Chains A and B, each alone.
Chain A
Amino acid sequence: MTARLGMRLPGRSKKEREPLGPYGRVGKAVEELDERLGIAKGGKTFLDKIFPDHWSFMLGEIALYTFVILLVTGVFLTLYYVPSSALTIYHGPYKPLDGQLVSQAFSSTMDLSFTVRAGLLMRQMHHWACDIFVGAIVLHMARVFFTGAFRKPRELNWTIGLTMLILAILNGFIGYSLPDDLISGTGIRIAYSILLSIPVVGSYLAFFLFGGNFPGTSIIPRFYVLHVLIIPAVLVGLLGAHLFLLVRQKHTQFPGPGKTERNVVGSPMYPVFMAKTTGFLFMISGVVALLGTFFQVNPIWQFGQYKASNISYAVQPDWYMGWLDGALRVMPAWEFVGWGHTIPFNVFVPAIIFPGIIFNICYAWPAIERRYTKDNLLHNLLDRPRDRPKRTAAGAAMLGLLSTLFVASATDVLANFFKISLNTVLVSMRVLTVIVPVIAYFLTYRICKELQAVPGAGKRKVVNVVAMTEGGEYTATPVAPPPELVDHELDAEPVPGLIGEDAPADAVAAAAAVGGRPGNVGTSSVRTVPR
């Protein structure tokens, strides 16, 4: 201690300081940090953390990074958006609406789009990022479902992810309602009617949420605080838990040589995964920026201010609300009236009961499957969808049902486009809603069974180099595919040796002799799974 203090005595020149070690300033910084926080041991484990390579594992990354874009662009938007229904006269560069009586919410969104520098770009990027965000979550969830990644021990993370999907859909709806334009206002009107449809408490819920009769002046500020504070805060918390569980339980992987239930084979966190995932963040941001630049989304100046007695034709909600809108359309006009009460099943069933059933099936699925298969083991290796035909077929049926309802949300557009009667379209959609899931189930089941029966179906084909010998005979030599295509099928190597230097032979031997902590140089614990 005194020696160290002595080094720091004033009057000494900088050059006489303790020389930097072999790792230079980085080494010094690590040392200083480690003395205070003890970062080295955990940090090394973190840098060595292995991420399996498979294209389907990037779907969750897309969701994560579009969420980052949503946060950044969203903060920009909050600086200019005014969450108020108070009326004002719009004055601005968009002449068709100049001088019109509009709400401050609408007026400020117009200013964002036409006056604020880069405001339109940020608005468009925010909207596009949201559409991609929800889509990426859905695809990620489908990947997790079809490969059985939700099985023990990851049921909790499935639950967290599903909750995030519901919150994402909800916040998307609330978010595109904020500009107070004609189309989103109609959506809020329908949401009010949906709340009203709930038996016993419906009108109270609607009055409490909206602060009275529709439309009132409370809903915009309330939606605003939900959209920018409460739901994002919950989402960030759940996201943190989602990622913490991912790190704690480690990633799943597809079966292959060297891959077992007890290891993870892939690229290390640092530097490969970090580089690739950072690059991916930039690429997604670039794609979202270009989408926001060249593909118009939600042009509120074409719709105009919301007015409860106005309505536009052929408007659909954002895509992730489509299945609910479709359910509202295909539901028959059933309403119970009796004993002085009304239960509007035509709204209550498709808008409350139906999504409730869908999401509860999703929540319960890991438990349902565990009960059905009596499989209580820990699973780190993924299933191939064909090997679980019933699960795959059930997933296909669910996607079939939701897709049909999504299409049904465009009955009017379809009728116009194909020049057929609206009645024909609606009746067809009612029929399809029932039969598509059934067909999807049996078709998928059949395909899975067929694929199981075809040996080697879906496996990488072996390349044969055909050559003619001098004698005129043809020979075929099977050749292994290029390594950049099959790296996840290769034998695994232990972590550290690769980063920087080759492990000396005696270090390998030493590590093997002491039993080699996992991840140490040259552990020979790689088990090869016969293909």
Chain B
Amino acid sequence: MSDHHDEPESTGDEPSRTPVQMPTSASWSDPHLQPAARHPQFVERLIGFTFIVGLLSFCAFGAAYWQNWAPWALGLTLGAGMLFVGTGITAWGKYLMPRGPFVEERHVLQSSKQDVESFTNALVERGATPVKRRKVLGGMLGAGMGVFGIVAMFPLLRSLGPLPKNTLATTDWKAGSYLVDQLGNRISQYSLAVGSFATVFPEGWEDQDRGQAVDQTFLVHLEAEGPIAGMPAGRSTWTPAGYVAYSKLCTHAGCPVGLFERELGLLICPCHQSMFKLAEGAIPIFGPAPRPLPQLPLAIDADGYLYASAGYNQPVGPGYWERP
């Protein structure tokens, strides 16, 4: 260390009083005052202790793994071993190794003007010769590469999946599809008490991926008698016996709209909190959803079972470019 530290630091912020030299050596830089230098054996012993504890922890981890102890025993022994060994190594580096500070010069990364000149020259002149002389060849090579690039897209991209065609716009609900629950049981008009709900599917699709993902429909027994006041015009026959059915796919990001707020008559999407008013055609009254949930027109057969009198009259779920 230089003499610099034996003197009080001469910075801009001088103390208000005139400094008076203390008779004793009170400098912090006195090596005798540095704990590690004052007690090197102690530091060594401390580091040795962390290594031994770490070693024992690793042994315990081995035992825990061998004996198949609880996961917390595995984690505790592994974590403790790592922490102790790590602390020991770090302390070793910090207290018992020459820390410096040392200085290293930076080399200028930039090349000399000549080197740059000769490199650029080779790049431009030597590289340009073939192209200048054989422009047609170069063009043909370029064209070939381009076609290869486009053609390569076919196996790489096109075969990844089918074209969407019309599958996003349609569901498997048809006129006459019976409403069934997850297990395939038909829903009768006496199945649900007023105020209760169920997730329903078109019969035969309840255990299909597409049935689960696209056809899922929210059925709620909203009132004791139909039709329900407040429904959009033209839908008075869609809600027999007070049953209402909407697509369960949120028109925002396609999550199942699964939260039924009975007192407020709202259907809430748990993902981004869009709220749909059940009694008014599921119009969105709050949140990021832009459109009402499509409604499934219902009917009741002679035995009291609910079925769809028609499919959805518009695509279900979130918006996309081809959606009319």
Contacts and interface: CB of A to CB of B under 8 A. Distances in A.
Contacts of B103: 50, 258, 263-265, 492-495, 523, 525-526
A308 B216 CA distance: 8
A216 B26 CA distance: 76
Contacts of A311: 255-256, 258, 270-271
A50 B320 contact: no
A204 B318 contact: no
A465 B22 contact: yes
Contacts of A289: 75, 78-79, 82
A459 B12 CA distance: 11
A33 to B, nearest CB: 24
A441 interface: no
B75 A292 contact: yes
Given A207-B162, A314-B270, A335-B290, A279 B92 contact: yes
A15 interface: no
Nearest to A264: B104
Given A275-B92, A462-B9, A479-B8, A208 B161 contact: yes
Contacts of B167: 212-213
A287 interface: yes
Contacts of A153: 109
Contacts of A484: 34, 36
Contact of B322 (A49, A203, A333, A426): A203
A121 B8 contact: no
Contact of B107 (A199, A218, A518): A518
A294 B75 contact: yes
B99 A267 contact: yes
Nearest to A114: B71
B161 A209 contact: yes
Given A203-B322, A328-B272, A480-B5, A121 B71 contact: yes
B101 A487 contact: yes
Interface in A249-278: 249-250, 258, 261-268, 271-276, 278
Contacts of B253: 189-190, 193-194, 328, 347
Interface stretch (A173-181, A337-345, A395-403): A337-345
B254 interface: yes
Nearest to B14: A478
B314 to A, nearest CB: 11
A48 B104 CA distance: 8
Interface string B245-273: 00010001111101100000000001111
A356 interface: no
Contacts, number: 392
A476 B22 CA distance: 9
B15 A266 contact: no
B287 interface: yes
A2 B68 CA distance: 60
A236 interface: no
Interface in A329-356: 329, 331-335, 337, 340-344, 346-347
A483 interface: yes
B102 A493 contact: yes
B229 interface: no
Nearest to B289: A333
A50 B28 contact: no
B160 A120 contact: no
A283 interface: yes
Contacts of A196: 168, 254, 318-320
Interface string B177-211: 00000100000000000000001010000000110
Given A190-B255, A335-B319, A207 B163 contact: yes
What size tier do the contact residues of chain B reach? Answer: 35 or more
B74 A275 contact: no
A483 B94 CA distance: 12
Given A272-B100, A275-B89, A286 B80 contact: yes
A218 B161 contact: yes
A279 B168 contact: no
A493 B100 contact: yes
B13 A455 contact: yes
A282 B86 contact: yes
A266 B100 contact: yes
Given A346-B252, A479-B27, A462 B75 contact: no
Interface in A150-207: 153, 186, 189-190, 192-194, 196-204, 206-207
A496 B167 CA distance: 72
A210 B1 CA distance: 65
Nearest to B213: A308
B291 interface: yes
Nearest to B158: A208
Contacts of B228: none
A59 B324 CA distance: 50
A215 interface: yes
Contacts of A189: 213, 253-255
A120 B73 CA distance: 12
Given A329-B288, A483-B34, A193 B254 contact: yes
A479 B104 contact: no
B123 interface: no
A227 B131 CA distance: 42
B8 A498 contact: no
A249 B213 CA distance: 53
Given A189-B255, A215-B213, A462-B13, A332 B100 contact: no
A213 B213 contact: yes
A249 B167 CA distance: 55
Contacts of A190: 253-255, 271
Question: Which 7 pairs of residues, A with B, have the shortest CB-CB distance?
Answer: A293-B75, A282-B86, A275-B93, A518-B105, A279-B90, A286-B83, A286-B82
Interface of B: 1-2, 4-5, 7-9, 11-17, 19-22, 26-29, 33-34, 36, 65, 68, 71-72, 74-76, 78-94, 97-107, 109, 157-158, 160-164, 167-168, 182, 199, 201, 209-210, 212-214, 216, 248, 252-256, 258-259, 270-274, 284, 286-291, 317-324
29 contacts: A50-B104, A117-B65, A120-B71, A199-B321, A204-B164, A206-B164, A207-B161, A207-B163, A211-B162, A212-B162, A213-B168, A265-B101, A272-B94, A273-B93, A278-B86, A280-B86, A286-B79, A286-B86, A292-B75, A328-B288, A333-B287, A335-B291, A342-B321, A462-B9, A462-B11, A474-B17, A482-B28, A484-B36, A493-B102
Given A48-B102, A333-B290, A492-B100, 16 more contacts: A49-B104, A198-B321, A214-B214, A265-B102, A268-B102, A279-B90, A284-B86, A286-B80, A293-B79, A311-B256, A329-B288, A333-B252, A426-B287, A456-B12, A479-B27, A490-B5
Interface of A: 48-50, 53, 117-118, 120-121, 124-125, 153, 186, 189-190, 192-194, 196-204, 206-218, 248-250, 258, 261-268, 271-276, 278-290, 292-294, 307-315, 325, 328-329, 331-335, 337, 340-344, 346-347, 380, 411-412, 422-423, 426, 455-456, 459, 462-465, 467, 469, 474-484, 487-488, 490-495, 498-499, 518-519, 523, 525-526, 531
